Each structure stands twice: as structure tokens, then as C-alpha cells.
Amino acid sequence: MRKLPFDASDDRLAAAAWSRLVEAPDPAAGALLARLGAGPALEWLSAVASGTADAADRHWQQAVGRWAPRLETLDIRRELDVLDRLDGHLVVPGDDAWPAPLADLGEQAPPCLWVRGDVAALAAPSVAIVGARASTAYGNTVAAELGAGVAESRRSVVSGGAYGIDAAAHRGALAVGGVTTALLAGGVDRLYPAGNAGLLEEAAEAGALVSEVPPGSVPTRNRFLARNRLIAALAGATVVVEAAWRSGALSTAGHAAALSRPLGAVPGPVSSMASAGCHRLLREYGAVCVTDTDEVLDLAGAVGEHLAPQRPSAPGLLDDLDPLAARVLDALPARAAAAAPNLARAAGLALAEVRSALGTLELAGRVERSSAGWRRAPADRPSRQAE
């Protein structure tokens, strides 16, 4: 086993190196780094792999067995050079820009983050808007509206880099000049999928591109699944806009639920397979039904700062009346006049109650006296019976 070509005791270099050595999530690596720090942990690994030290037990022997193959070709300075050429930043635990919520991942937290764009975007209050690649026009519209709405509330949008809902959410945020953050499964030098390269470049300008793997890393299926835990952990709440019954977006939702992060799902037509996963989240996973930005912000729990307003609704004819008056008005014919005793029978009320209610209604300008008895005021003559 060769000696490492860089200073393994340098904690930043070592943290970067660990992100190359492990396939996330690797709780053994998380535990080791938390206990020793990245530098000493890397020196220990190097010593064990070269035979100059012993792994304590079978658990650590297995872990070293997983990590050692990549030690042979490891020179993390190359990946850091690539990041540098992209004006990127390495963010490690303890940095001001390190997102505190990642601590909730415990031993599954990443050793570092590779970031292009503004590292401040990482620590901003944020909402994850995620969903299916195979989205519908409906889902894309809703995702873009929610992305714009979240961005306008001065929160960052967090999503993946995929076609469909992810892309629509970023576009919505970018359209209103907001901040958006894309978490990539591969390196930040590999804008995948290629068709989203332009969009992801824009996200890097307006927010950040983030990965837990170094430049040059390809986006494997395992990395997509691992990346989903970062989306869920980083965001204050996760909203799934469209997802098939079985879908990667549900894995992000599962992480959000496991982390006790608020989880929302956007409903859609029951006939749409692209909404089946959202309905499943509502039925089986206790997701909250969210239909607009206000409800999403409510979910994200900006208590006192934002509450979903009660919808405006046209008051019905009887809505502002006390129940007795409403019943008497209800009993009045649409156009004809009626005497109080007849109204008592029609409404099933005592004559005294009817007289009292008629007084109230008269004061409110809802009924008029006429020679033939009581009748509705002109504005109160409905054109149709209500059901």
C-alpha cells in the first residue's frame, strides 16, 4: 500500500478524501469521522490498510476492506483542483456554511459537501420540492408555481437535478429571481442529465449545486438514493408534487418522515398515475395535503410569520343571521308575502319567536312589511332554491 500523496492530517483534505472513499450512506465511516476527526481517521485507515496497524475487530476489518480499494488511486487534490477551476467550494463540518440540519443524519451525515455557487444558500431556510421525472403538464405547472412561491417568500428551493418536477421547481424559483439549490447524485462538474445542463448552470448562478461526491463521480443508482436523504435533511419541509405509486420521490419522502421533517403531498386527479404516489403518501404516510404556496409555507412551519389564510368565499344569503332569523327567512316565500302565524307553521317555530326574528330581519333590511304580510327585501329574493 503506497503512502498517500497529500497530507492526510489536514482535516479539509481528509474530509474531501473520505467523500471519495465511501459510498454513502456508510454509518461506519460516519462513526469513525465523528470519533477521530477526518484527518486522524484517514491516517488510521492508511496505517491499517498498509499493515502497520490493526483494525480493532471484524466490524472495522470489513469497513477497511470496503474503503481500501479506493485508497490505491486516491489523490483528492486533483478533484479539489477541478472544483477550484469551477469556482466551487468545499464545505466541511464546522464551517460557517455547513448546514446544521445535516446533524440530524447522525452517522449517515456526509464527510463534506462539494458546492458550486453561493455556499450561503445551504444554510438558508428552504423547502424541498421534488417529484417524478415522468411528470405531467399539471405537475410541472404546480411545481413551477410552488417553486416561485417558495422563492418569493425568501426561502430557498431544494430539489434534485432531474427532468420533470425537479426541473420545474428550479425554473419556478429562477423565474422570480429566487434562490434554488440542486443536490446532484454525481459530481458538480457533471451536469446530469445533459438536457438540464443549462438550467443547472443557472441554479449555480442563483443558488448552489451541491454534491457529497467529488467532481468526476458518476451518478449511480445508489448515489441517487443516497442523495435523497440529503434533500430531505437539508430542507425545512419536503413537498412531493407528482410521483408514481413507486417512485424515487417516495424515497425522499420516506427520509423526510424518518427525520421528522414536515412532509407534504400535492393531490391530483385520481385517474393520473403521476399522482398515485402522492395519494399514497396522504393515505399511508401521514403526508399533509398541500395545494398552494400558502399551505406549503404553513407546512414549513414559519409559525407566527405565515399562516395559510382562510379562503375568501361569497357569503350565502343566510350566513350572517342567527339561526332563528335564518329559519324564518328560509320559510318566507321567494316572492309572495306571508303572515307571521303562517311563517310559524312553515318554520316550525313559536309565533313569538317568529315575531322576534322578523324584527331582527327588518332591522337588517332583509324583510319588509306589506299590506299582505311580511316579504323578502328585493335584494333577498333568491332566484333558485338552494341545495
When binding is defined by CB under 8 A, the residue of 160, 178, 207, 214 that contacts its own copies is 160
Strand order across the beta sheet in which 288-289 lies: 89-91, 113-117, 208-211, 180-183, 156-159, 126-130, 237-240, 263-265, 288-289
Dist CA 165 CA 160 (whole Å) = 9
Dist CA 354 CA 127 (whole Å) = 55
Binding mask 23-62 for its own copies (x = CB under 8 A): x--x-----------------------------------x
Smallest gap, in angstroms, from Cβ of residue 139 to its own copies? 10
Grid look-up 429566487 returns: 178
Smallest gap, in angstroms, from Cβ of residue 247 to its own copies? 10
162 closest CA partner among 116, 221, 113, 114: 221
Other C-beta atoms closer than 10 Å to the C-beta of 294 total 16
Strand pairing report for 113-117 and 89-91: antiparallel
Dist CA 167 CA 148 (whole Å) = 12
When binding is defined by CB under 8 A, the residue of 2, 222, 322, 359 that contacts its own copies is 222
Residue 209's DSSP bridge partners are 116, 182
Smallest gap, in angstroms, from Cβ of residue 262 to its own copies? 13
Residue 142 binds its own copies, judged by CB under 8 A: yes
When binding is defined by CB under 8 A, the residue of 103, 175, 197, 352 that contacts its own copies is 352
Q: Which stretch binds its own copies (CB under 8 A): 6-14, 89-97, 239-247, 254-262?
A: 239-247
Residue 209 binds its own copies, judged by CB under 8 A: no
Number of residues in the chain: 387
Please, are residues 370 and 337 in contact by the beta-carbon 8 Å criterion?
yes
Dist CA 364 CA 340 (whole Å) = 18
Q: Which of residues 86-125 bind its own copies (CB under 8 A)?
A: none
Amino acid at 44: W
Q: Which of residues 174-203 bind its own copies (CB under 8 A)?
A: 185, 192-193
Residue 65 binds its own copies, judged by CB under 8 A: yes
Q: Is 209 helix (H, G, I), strand (E, B) or coil?
A: strand
Smallest gap, in angstroms, from Cβ of residue 348 to its own copies? 3
Smallest gap, in angstroms, from Cβ of residue 96 to its own copies? 30
Count of residues in contact with its own copies, rule CB under 8 A: 70
When binding is defined by CB under 8 A, the residue of 3, 35, 73, 371 that contacts its own copies is 73
| Closer by beta carbon to its own copies, 96 or else 319 | 319
Grid look-up 490505491 returns: 72
- Do you find a cis peptide bond into 262, omega within 30 degrees of 0? no
Q: How does DSSP classify residue 236? A: S
Other C-beta atoms closer than 10 Å to the C-beta of 79 total 23
Q: Which stretch binds its own copies (CB under 8 A): 42-50, 171-179, 344-352, 368-376?
A: 344-352
| Closer by beta carbon to its own copies, 73 or else 371 | 73
When binding is defined by CB under 8 A, the residue of 330, 339, 359, 369 that contacts its own copies is 330
Residue 341 binds its own copies, judged by CB under 8 A: yes
Dist CA 3 CA 50 (whole Å) = 9
Query: At 337, which helix (H) or strand (E)?
Result: none
Residue 337 binds its own copies, judged by CB under 8 A: no
When binding is defined by CB under 8 A, the residue of 260, 313, 371, 383 that contacts its own copies is 313
Residue 381 binds its own copies, judged by CB under 8 A: no
Q: Which stretch binds its own copies (CB under 8 A): 8-16, 34-42, 52-60, 288-296?
A: 288-296
Please, are residues 339 and 374 in contact by the beta-carbon 8 Å criterion?
yes
Residue 3 binds its own copies, judged by CB under 8 A: no
Interacting residues of 167 by C-beta distance below 8 A, sequence separation 6+:
161, 196, 199
Please, are residues 128 and 241 in contact by the beta-carbon 8 Å criterion?
no
Residue 291 binds its own copies, judged by CB under 8 A: yes
When binding is defined by CB under 8 A, the residue of 219, 242, 256, 321 that contacts its own copies is 219
Enumerate binding residues for its own copies (CB under 8 A): 21-23, 26, 62, 65-70, 72-73, 133, 138, 141-142, 160-162, 185, 192-193, 219-222, 224, 244-246, 248, 266-271, 275-276, 278-279, 282-283, 288-292, 295, 311, 313, 318, 326-327, 330-331, 341, 344-345, 347-353, 385-387
